[in-house]
Amino acid sequence: MIDKIVDQNIDTQLSEGISHFLEKITPLLKLNRLDNIVDILSLLSDLVDIIDNSTIEKISNSFEDILVPVWEVINAFNMSKMELSYIDKKYNLRTVFSLLKDPDTLKGISIILRTLQIMAQRTQKTSE
């Protein structure tokens, strides 16, 4: 008797789950979106077969090489914004130019200018 009740409960839950799944998959079938999902899964399966550990390491190193400078810029921006919010100093042209006395400021400006110079050189080479 208990087995019958458990079986009916499982059947009810299974039929509810299947009907819920069919409700969700119907729009995908009508719009041919299921084909896209199958294609993505196939691509991921192929990538798992192709990629070895050295390729994964190269990809992760490249990702880290891109992420670290972006992270540094974001942190520097947030630090400077917080410093400005806590300092009760009136800023004018003279106080801004006084930042040029700091060697770290000069180094940062030279890095930015050199980066812009390299970008300009590369755009000239590609346009030729």
Tens-place pLDDT, residues 95-104: 888 889 999 9
Average pLDDT, the chain: 84
Looking at residue 27, its amino acid is P
- Region of poorest pLDDT, from 5-9, 52-56, 80-84: 5-9
Residue 44 has pLDDT above 80, yes or no: yes
Per-residue pLDDT, averaged over 77-85, amounts to 85
The Cα 27–Cα 123 span in angstroms is 47
Residue 76 has pLDDT above 70, yes or no: yes
| Sign of the four-CA dihedral 14, 19, 24, 27 | positive
- Report pLDDT digits (tens) over 61-75: 999 999 988 998 899
The Cα 100–Cα 69 span in angstroms is 23
Structure tokens belonging to residue 30? 């009508």
The Cα 35–Cα 91 span in angstroms is 60
Structure tokens belonging to residue 8? 């009916």
Share of the chain above pLDDT 90, in %: 19
